[in-house]
Every structure is written in structure tokens, then in C-alpha cells.
Amino acid sequence: MGLHDRNKRGFRRLLRSFFYASQGFKYVLKHEQNMQIHLLVAIVTIFAAFLLRFPVGHWVVLLLVIASMFALEIMNTAIERTVDLVTEEYHPLAKRAKDIAAAAVFIYCLFAVAIGCILFIPAILKLF
């Protein structure tokens, strides 16, 4: 949001903040390969959950995991861009910051796969 908007309140400011957020989401989708992969996996996963007729509780968990993955990948991108803004030269601490942010996404991804297995394996086994 622009600096001139920080002290204003109201519906127009709220709409503008949604616009800026959508611009950020579009940027990440367009420029970040990992986000494109997350989106593709999310679409396939949602389609599979629909076909397997997941109960409501499973849907809640599944959608929370997907939304959290998107949010974490977006934060990772924000950290990477901020580090790039601060220094264009190689710096060990800049590398470390980027690596740590990427590690957070990686760890969450591992747990998301584990949760997916917990949700999907029993539903798939019921088919047989």
C-alpha cells in the first residue's frame, strides 16, 4: 500500500489493499516456479478429494494445509526479494536468510505430504 494511504480509513482503502494483495499473488504465480507447482498440486489434490467424497472435516484440514502452503511460499518469496533489495553482492548472511526461508517451506511441505497421506490413503483403500 502506498505511503499516502496509511492514515486513511474506509472502504476505498480496504478495496485498494485487496487490489495490492491480488497483485502480489499474481506476481508470485507468474514468476515463481515453486508456487506454480504448489498450485498444480493443490488443484489435483482438490479434484481427488472431490472424487473421493471427503467428509467436511477432511476438507477443512486439506484447505488449511493448502492455504498455509501458499502463504508460506509467498512469505519465502517476500524474504528473498527483500534480501535481493538489500544486497546485490553475494553475502553469506544473505544466502543464509534465503536458505532458512526455503527450509521453512520445505519442512512444511514434508508435513503437508504426511497429512495428505493420512487423509488420502484410507479413502483410497476404501475403494478396494
Do 62 and 45 touch, CB atoms closer than 8 A? yes
Do 76 and 105 touch, CB atoms closer than 8 A? yes
Among 32, 73, 80, 88, the active-site one is 73
CB environment 83-116: b (16+ within 10 A), e (fewer):
beeeeeeeeeebeebbeebeeebeebbeebeeeb
| Residue 89 annotated among the catalytic residues of the structure | no
Query: What is the 3-class SS of 69-118, one letter each residue?
Result: HHHHHHHHHHHHHHHHHHCCCCCHHHHHHHHHHHHHHHHHHHHHHHHHHH
Active site residues: 73
